[in-house]
């Protein structure tokens, strides 16, 4: 009898310990872009719903011709890793190692192999005003421009730029097609350690928000797919 009680007690202790361990298990990975994306509240199963129907290559999706242009040449060939709305985790990410977690708020424009060591100019996708240029965690250099889209204010986030190459200052007028700066060097402080690429985000409204990832699809609704506007063929 005494032995049974001891065994049962041991069993209870083990079960409780396992339970506690499991409770603490999900290691949260902070997204430097965001500081707020919480993987715990995100729902990966919504991925299909969120990324579906947003094929960046679909020409019928293009709007505002003339008022918008691509930031880099051959835009459609570049969006190969992270399109708008894709749900990223370190496990499923096309980028390794992955430091981020959540719904991608922008579209990533990759470089071509021959561009790795070249200066790659990033063009303004619209005419507007420069609102911010700074170093930020997750980006390295980041520039924000305010434009107007369908009569509504929108802010454009250009991430991973070499900040010292950006001549414009806050409140300067920017013309569509103007070179804002060049892409930051791969895996350097200019990109905050990320590969060489452009993160382009469209955030609704005037408020500046440079999050690269958000934890929920409802938060993602504050963002627009840049490819609906800025993935058209590029005219030199």
Specify the stretch interacting with Zn ion by CB under 5 A; choose among 56-64, 103-111, 179-187, 219-227: 103-111
25 burial (CB, 10 Å; 0-12 / 13-18 / 19+) is exposed
Q: Of 50 and 108, which has the nearer Cβ to Zn ion? A: 108
> DSSP letters of 22-56?
HHH-S-----TTTS---TTT--GGGHHHHHTT--T
- The rounded distance, in Å, linking the Cα atoms of 187 and 105 is 21
Contact pattern for Zn ion over residues 125 through 164, marking x by CB under 5 A: ----------------------------------------
Specify the stretch interacting with Zn ion by CB under 5 A; choose among 43-51, 100-108, 161-169, 217-225: 100-108
Residues 16-75 that bind Zn ion (CB under 5 A): none
Q: Of 127 and 188, which has the nearer Cβ to Zn ion? A: 188
State whether the Cα torsion 203-204-208-214 is positive or negative: negative
- Taking alpha carbons only, the member of 28, 157, 70, 141 closest to residue 105 is 157
How many C-beta atoms lie closer than 10 Å to residue 232's C-beta? 19
- The rounded distance, in Å, linking the Cα atoms of 163 and 161 is 6
Q: Of 151 and 193, which has the nearer Cβ to Zn ion? A: 193
Q: Of 129 and 195, which has the nearer Cβ to Zn ion? A: 195
Residues 173-212 that bind Zn ion (CB under 5 A): 199
Q: Of 97 and 236, which has the nearer Cβ to Zn ion? A: 97
Query: Smallest gap, in angstroms, from Cβ of residue 61 to Zn ion?
Result: 19
Contact residues for 95 (Cβ-Cβ < 8 A; gap 6+): 81, 82, 195
3-state DSSP helix/strand/coil % of the chain, to nearest 5 = 25, 25, 50
Query: Smallest gap, in angstroms, from Cβ of residue 226 to Zn ion?
Result: 10
Query: Smallest gap, in angstroms, from Cβ of residue 158 to Zn ion?
Result: 11
Does residue 99 belong to the site contacting Zn ion (CB under 5 A)?
no
Contact 180, 166 (CB under 8 A): yes
Q: Of 20 and 215, which has the nearer Cβ to Zn ion? A: 215
Query: Smallest gap, in angstroms, from Cβ of residue 90 to Zn ion?
Result: 15
Output the residue with the shortest Cβ distance to Zn ion: 199
Judged by CB under 5 A, the number of residues near Zn ion is 2
Does residue 108 belong to the site contacting Zn ion (CB under 5 A)?
yes
Give contact residues for Zn ion (rule: CB under 5 A). 108, 199
């Amino acid at each position: 009898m005494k032995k049974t009680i001891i065994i049962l007690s041991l069993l209870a202790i083990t079960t409780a310990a396992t339970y506690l361990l499991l409770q603490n298990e999900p290691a949260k990975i902070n997204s430097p872009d965001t500081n707020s994306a919480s993987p715990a509240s995100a729902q990966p199963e919504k991925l299909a719903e969120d990324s579906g129907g947003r094929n960046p290559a679909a020409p019928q999706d293009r709007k505002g011709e003339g008022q918008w242009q691509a930031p880099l040449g051959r835009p459609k060939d570049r969006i190969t890793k992270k399109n708008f709305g894709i749900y990223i985790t370190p496990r499923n990410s096309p980028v390794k190692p992955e430091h981020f977690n959540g719904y991608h708020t922008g579209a990533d424009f990759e470089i071509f192999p021959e561009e790795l060591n070249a200066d790659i100019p990033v063009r303004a996708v619209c005419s507007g005003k420069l609102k911010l240029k700074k170093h930020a965690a997750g980006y390295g250099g980041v520039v924000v421009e305010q434009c107007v889209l369908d009569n509504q204010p929108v802010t454009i986030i250009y991430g991973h730029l070499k900040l010292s190459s950006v001549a414009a200052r806050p409140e300067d007028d920017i013309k569509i097609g103007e070179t804002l700066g060049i892409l930051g060097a791969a895996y350097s402080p200019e990109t905050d350690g990320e590969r060489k690429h452009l993160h382009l985000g469209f955030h609704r409204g005037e408020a500046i928000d440079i999050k690269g990832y958000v934890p929920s699809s409802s938060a993602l609704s504050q963002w627009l797919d840049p490819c609906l506007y800025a993935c058209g063929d590029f005219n030199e």
